[in-house]
Structure formats: C-alpha cells, structure tokens
Amino acid sequence: MRRFLIPLVVFVVLVVFLAIGLTLNPRDVPSPLKDKPAPAFKLPQLAAAGKTFSPEDLKGKVWLLNVWASWCVSCRQEHPLLVSFSKEGKVPIVGLNYKDQAADAKNWLAKFGDPYVFSAVDADGRVGIDYGVYGVPETYVIDKAGMIRMKHTGPITPESLQKQILPLVAELSK
Amino acid sequence: MKLHSLLVCIALICSGIVAAKEAAPMAADLAIEKRMVAISEELRCLVCQNESLSGSHAELAQDLRREIRKMIGEGKTDQEILDFMVARYGDFVRYRPPMKPTTWLLWAGPFVLLAGGIGALIAFLRRRAKEAAGPALSEEEHRRAAALLDQPKS
C-alpha cells in the first residue's frame, strides 16, 4: 500500500502545481511601481498641443491613467467599456497616448469615442518606460497623494472593472 | 571641362576626409555597443518573455536598448542600469533574479528536488539490494538445511 501512496502523493502535488501554473497569466507581471509615487512627467495634450499635463495637476484626486494607442488592437477591445464607464463620471480617466501619430490618435478618438478628460502625448515612449509599460493597454489607479495603487495590464474587462478597479477607487475616494 | 573634373576630384577627396572624420567615434560606439549587448543579455524582453532584451525585435526592446546606450553614454555603471530596469519592470526583467525571501524557493527549488531524487534513488537501491540478497535463514532453518545436505546418499 505504501508503495503506491508516495508516488500518488507526488503526482497529486505535481498536478496541483501545474493546474495553478496553467491558470496564471504570464503577462501579469507584478509592477514594482505599486504603492510608489507615480513618476513625474510633463507632456503636451493631444487635443490642445499648447497645454501640458503633469500628474501633479491631479493631486488630491483619485484618477486613472490609461495607456493607449491607435495601433493597439487590444485598446479597441477595451475602448467601448471605457467610453461607457467614463459617462458615469465616477473617476477621471487620463489617456497616455503611447508612441502614436497625433493625426491617427485624433481620428481614432473621433471614430470610437473619447473617454478621456484629455490625453497626454508620449510620442517616443519615454514616459511609458518610466511607468514600466510593456503591453498596451495598461491602466493605473492613482490615489489622492499621487501614489500608484494598482496596475492593470491588458484590456480592462467588465469583470476587472467591477471587481478590482471600482472597489479600489471607492475606497481611495473616501 | 578640365576644371569640372578637377572640382569633382576635390569634392570626392573632401568627402573622403569628411567620412574619415565621422568614422572616428566608431571605436567609442563599439565599446558602448558591446556593453549594451552584455547588459541586455541579462535582461528579459517583457513583450516576448522568452527572449532577451538583446535578441528581441520588439519595439519596446529597441527603445530600452536605446535607453541603455544613452545611460552608458552618461557614464552610468552596469548596476545603475540594472537598477533602472528593475525599478520599472520588477525582478522579472532579470534573467538572474537577486537572492531574497521571495526568490529563495526559485533558487533552492531545483537543488531540493535533486536532493529528494537522490534520496529516493538511494532508498530504492538499498531496498533492492536487500531483496536480491534473499531472506536470511534462521538458526533452525540452517540446521535443517545442514541435515538435508549431510544425508548420506541412499
């Protein structure tokens, strides 16, 4: 009996580990920026090139920073959700237009709707590097003190919005 | 006509000189490039996670290589450049993650498995050796065996 028990236990442990491994998303790399101040930047705005935006401007507010680009296919996937969510007015969404052409970006927003308070233009992707962007779209939840409290990599789903982002925003807004 | 060709010649010589002047910083570039490659071999490209930053064609990898070149040009040390990457992308970006409580299992895991495997092998071999030797005879059985062997042939 003991002869079979040990291999069986080893097998079950292995299966459990593999099952956990299979359900993990390899793209979901924990960001070291969580609970750190949002890196400072000053970038021109997409709609009004004369105006600039810096995270400092939103101190005292909870806001979302959504990294997007017109060339990014997954951004289109999450976009309708962002547009409908922005209409609820629960939290300001600032866009970071990442490595894009201004004309393409403007067309894209005109075509699919503009959920952003405004979009900052990160044409060469330098600010993206400071934020550890590696897979557009990415969304950051930034609190009143200007700290990054959450990073979501990949398109936001209704589920991640309801279960993760909104509860966090509600808690931070208290 | 002669003047024309002379001018062309002068232009050609001049362009040669200009080219030579531009080629001078190549040695420095080569050193930077070598260091950049050495550093980026140690780093994972986050877009295509099984490629190193030096081998990846992803646009982000190109941008990051450009950043590394810039930092080398600014006189940053290798450690400072690695820290820059880890601060943004986490320990996952390094192919050789640092030793710390969250990575102990990662570093020790293979050796623990190896030790377990060797232990199991030794236990198995010992048991098999014992089985091969066959069961030892008791005193009573020895006497009976001796008695049987000693029986005179009929």
Q: Domain span at residue B85?
A: 10-98
Predicted pLDDT of residue B106? 87
Among A26, A131, A133, the residue with its CB nearest the CB of B49 is A26
In a domain, B138, yes or no: yes
Among B98, B119, B137, the domain boundary falls at B98
* CB within 8 Å of A106: residues ≥ 6 apart: A46, A47
Closest CA to A143 of A25, A64, A26, A90: A64
Q: Could you tell me the pTM of the whole model?
A: 0.74
A29 interaction partners in chain B (CB closer than 8 Å): 46, 89-90, 92
- Beta-carbon separation of A29 and B64 below 8 A: no
Number of domains in chain B: 2
Q: A133: distance to nearest CA of chain B, Å?
A: 8
Contact A66, A139 (CB under 8 A): yes
ipTM: 0.80
**What is chain B's mean pLDDT, rounded?**
82
Q: Are residues B79 and B120 in the same domain?
A: no
CB contact under 8 A, B46 and A99: no
**Is there a contact between A64 and A164 (Cβ–Cβ < 8 Å)?**
no
DSSP string for A77-136? HHHHHHHHHHHTTSS-EEEEEES--HHHHHHHHHHH----S-EEEETTSHHHHHTT--SS
Residues B42 and B77 placed together within one structural domain of the fold: yes
Considering the domain architecture, whether residues B92 and B108 belong to the same structural domain is answered as no
- B71 and B17 part of one domain: yes
- Lookup: tokens for A133: 């962007």
User: Is B59 within a domain?
Assistant: yes
Report residue B119's pLDDT band, with 50, 70 and 90 as the boundaries.
Answer: very high
Q: Domain spans of chain A?
A: 32-173
Q: Which residue of B has its CA nearest to A38?
A: B88
- Class in CATH terms, A32-173: alpha beta
Mean pLDDT of B89-97: 88
Max CA-CA distance within chain A?
A: 79
Q: Is the pLDDT of residue B5 over 60?
A: yes
pLDDT band for B114, please (50, 70, 90 cuts): very high
Whether residue B44 lies inside any domain: the answer is yes
* 8 Å CB contact of A129 and B86: no
Residues in chain B: 154
Q: Which residues of B fall within a CB distance of 8 Å from A132?
A: 88-90
Which residues of B are less than 8 Å from A33 in CB distance? 88
Q: Which residues of chain B are within 8 Å of residue A5 when distances are taken between CB atoms?
A: none
Q: pLDDT tens digit string along A120-129?
A: 999 999 999 9
Percent of the residues in chain B that have a pLDDT greater than 90, as a whole number: 31
Q: Output the pLDDT for position B24.
A: 45
Residues B70 and B108 in one domain: no
| B14, B47: one domain | yes
pLDDT at A50: 86
Interface of A to B at Cβ within 8 Å reads: 26, 29-33, 99, 124-125, 129-135
B59 shares contact with chain A (CB less than 8 Å): yes
The tokens describing A66, both together, are: 């959504």
Question: Does residue B4 belong to any structural domain of this protein?
Answer: no
Report pLDDT for B113.
Answer: 92
Within-domain flag for B56: yes
Q: What digits encode the pLDDT tens for the residues B42-54?
A: 999 888 888 888 8
- Tell me, yes or no, if B87 comes closer than 8 A to chain A by beta carbon: yes
pLDDT of residue B123: 92
Please tell me which residue, A1 or B35, carries the higher pLDDT value: B35
**Do residues B88 and B124 share a domain?**
no
| pLDDT of B117 higher than 90 | yes
* Residue A97 near residue A121 (C-beta atoms within 8 A): yes
A116 near A66, Cβ under 8 Å? Answer: yes
Low-confidence ranges of chain A (pLDDT < 50): none
Regarding whether B143 and B76 lie in a shared domain, the answer is no
Give the CATH number of the domain where residue B21 resides.
Answer: 1.10.8.640
Residues B68 and B20 in one domain: yes
Look at residue B22 in the predicted model and tell me its pLDDT. Answer: 46
At B27, the pLDDT band (50, 70, 90 cuts) reads low
pLDDT at B20 over 50: no
Q: Which amino acid belongs to residue B154?
A: S
Sheet containing strand A138-142, strands side by side:
A119-122, A93-98, A63-68, A138-142, A148-153
